[in-house]
Amino acid sequence: MRTIGIALLTVSTLAVAANLNGTWRFEQTSNNGRKRITTYVFRVNGNTFTGDFANLSEHRDILNGVIDGNTITFDTKFEFDDQGRLTPFTGEITGEELSILPARAPQGKRPPQPTVVKRISNETAYVPPPEAAPHHKPLPPFKPIPPNGLALTPPMGWNSWNKFSSRIDDKTVREIADAMVTTGMRDAGYLYVNIDDTWEAERDANGVLQPNSKFPDMKALADYVHSKGLKLGIYSGPGYKTCAGYDASYLHEEQDAKTWAAWGIDYLKYDWCSASAVYHRDDMMPVYQKMALALRATGRPIIFSLCQYGWLNVREWGSAAGGNLWRTTGDISDNWDSMSRIGFAQNGREKYAGPGHWNDPDMLEIGNGGMTDSEYRVHMALWSILAAPLLAGNDVRVMTPAAREIMNNREVIAIDQDKLGKQGFRLRQDGDLEIWQKPLSDGVAVGLFNRSGAPAQMKIAWSEVGITAKNPKVRDLWEHKDIAAAADFTAEVPSHGVVMLKVTR
């Protein structure tokens, strides 16, 4: 695919550009009957273009690319493919219609149908639709607020999105709660059962947000989850709509917080999505703080999870805004490339994490089938060294023995949950071989990670991690056995594998 830079060098060889200038629109009705309107605004300069891609779920100034006759090639990449890579797109102009397709079809799948957008005007400035016009009063100045006293160790639990997406319902949540007890997950520390997007209906005459038919009685569901010794989480966002197009909390923050508290909700994931249609990105800090204050005003302890993909250096202000955790990345996918790219990129963020406020590299994919057991052990080990929230994203009702063993490894979990609350960091790197360490209240955790395609010998001297005792206690956390003490340690680490150790002073 050509990039903008290449296109500018070869513009003289391109065919005369078709007329792309203007505002184009695509309308579709989802399975739940909700209409989704997407607007594309193109501004053409010779054979290149810039512009906006916008809808009520998000508004991003991301369009750019090249026009070659009737063909346009986006430099912008809109979606993730099956391998967790952003997908390039192309388009064909036919009069007043533009057909948009991925530049390559997903591997092993039928080519998708094109998205056909129609020109509605020659206007080249993005104009929000009437329903997206902001109605809020100016937000008060941002002022740091004290911690809420929750999440003194990284939250542990389960979230519905990775496995179930829009297919989640009351019955499934109850069965997941049951399984978290019978599989030993609850007793290993997984306490939160979090319902992600698609639970919402519309607001009643008094503005109270209602659950849809999949969740007939949220209070009764919360009571059931609580009866299992677990806690219930919910999902919303500061915009008009959630990422899936359901009603969110814009202008109803205090009302929604009271509703959730009355139901017995214990955790809120608050996803930015359509907030860009009504707020400027610079408003994020007071926008998130507004909900934090609304939650606290209910008097119910509710963990507050900021989901805004790591934008605007959230690690520097997430805690002051009232957050207990904040996403540091886009969505994870169930494959090695996505998981390893996200996980190993967390180095350098450790100073922003601690009791009550955690960096969140997204949910666990363990057990969903896209990685090997060795790769899932890397996933679990790395997230634990990162002191990351451990939120399972699989169907815990049907876990394989291997997935269950990985998820319930209490020695590894103890590293994540160590009371010192320190996030680990990379000690050194030699190509695809990385050694990470995490300070503990009684020693240090060490991860020997092999990201290469072949087994590799890896070695570490305990003095590198500050252990100078002649006979330190060394424990292999996957093999569950003590290792003979020595001044250093050498192991053969499998491809896409890890050796995880705890060294006690």
Delimit the domains of the chain by residue range.
4-132, 156-423, 426-504
- Looking at the domain 426-504, which fold is it? Immunoglobulin-like (2.60.40)
Residue 175 predicted with pLDDT over 80: yes
Task: Work out the average pLDDT over 186-214.
Answer: 97
Q: What is the mean pLDDT of residues 304-321?
A: 96
- CA 438 to mean position of chain CA atoms: 23
Please report which residue ranges of 116-203 form alpha helices under DSSP H. Answer: 161-164, 170-182, 185-188
The topology under which CATH files domain 4-132 is Lipocalin (2.40.128)
Residue 162, pLDDT > 50, answer yes
Q: What is the dihedral of CA 358, 362, 368, 373, to 10 degrees?
A: -60
User: Mind listing the pLDDT tens digit for each residue in 66-89?
Assistant: 999 999 988 865 554 444 445 678
pLDDT score for 83: 46
**20 half-sphere exposure, CB direction, 13 A CA radius:** 34
Q: Which residues contact 102 (CB under 8 A, 6 or more apart)?
A: 79, 81, 87, 88, 89, 90, 112
Identify the band that residue 56 occupies on the pLDDT scale cut at 50, 70 and 90.
Answer: low
Tokens of 205: 């005459």
- Say if 156-423 and 426-504 have the same CATH topology: no
The per-residue pLDDT for 127 is: 77
* Active-site residue flag, 266: no
Residue entry with tokens 């896209």: 370
Of residues 386, 439, 431, 390, the one with CA closest to residue 410: 390
Catalytic residue among 331, 373, 432, 476: 331
Give Cβ neighbours of residue 466 (< 8 Å, ≥ 6 apart).
Answer: 444
CA distance 366 to 492: 24
Count other Cβ atoms within 10 Å, centred on residue 456.
19
Q: Is 3.20.20.70 the CATH number for 156-423?
A: yes
Q: What is the DSSP letter of 265?
A: -
Q: Are 466 and 458 in contact (CB under 8 A)?
A: no
What dihedral angle (degrees, nearest 10) is formed by the CA atoms of 460, 466, 468, 469?
-100
Greater model confidence, 100 or 150:
150
Secondary structure class of 35 (helix, strand, coil) = strand
Does residue 162 or residue 34 have the better pLDDT? 162
| pLDDT tens profile 346-382 | 999 999 999 999 999 999 999 999 999 999 999 999 9
Biggest alpha carbon distance in the chain?
A: 78
In angstroms, the CA 389 to CA 331 distance is 15
Contact 342, 329 (CB under 8 A): yes
Q: How confident is the model at residue 59 (pLDDT cuts 50, 70, 90)?
A: low
pLDDT of residue 34: 64
pLDDT at 6 exceeding the cut of 60? no
pLDDT tens per residue, range 474-493: 999 999 999 987 889 999 99
The DSSP-derived string for 402-467 is HHHHHHT-HHHHHHHT-TT----EEEEEETTEEEEEEEETTEEEEEEEE-SSS-EEEEEEGGGGT-
Compute the distance between CA of residue 482 and CA of residue 479 in angstroms, rounded to an integer.
9
Q: Which one of 75, 170, 271, 283 is the catalytic residue?
A: 271
pLDDT given at position 132: 67
- Hey, is 188 helix, strand or coil? helix
Residue 331 a catalytic site member: yes
Helices 336-344 and 373-385, interaxial angle, to 10°?
20
Q: How confident is the model at residue 64 (pLDDT cuts 50, 70, 90)?
A: confident
C-beta separation of 356 from 99 below 8 A: no
Residue (of 330, 290, 318, 344) closest to 140 by Cα position:
290
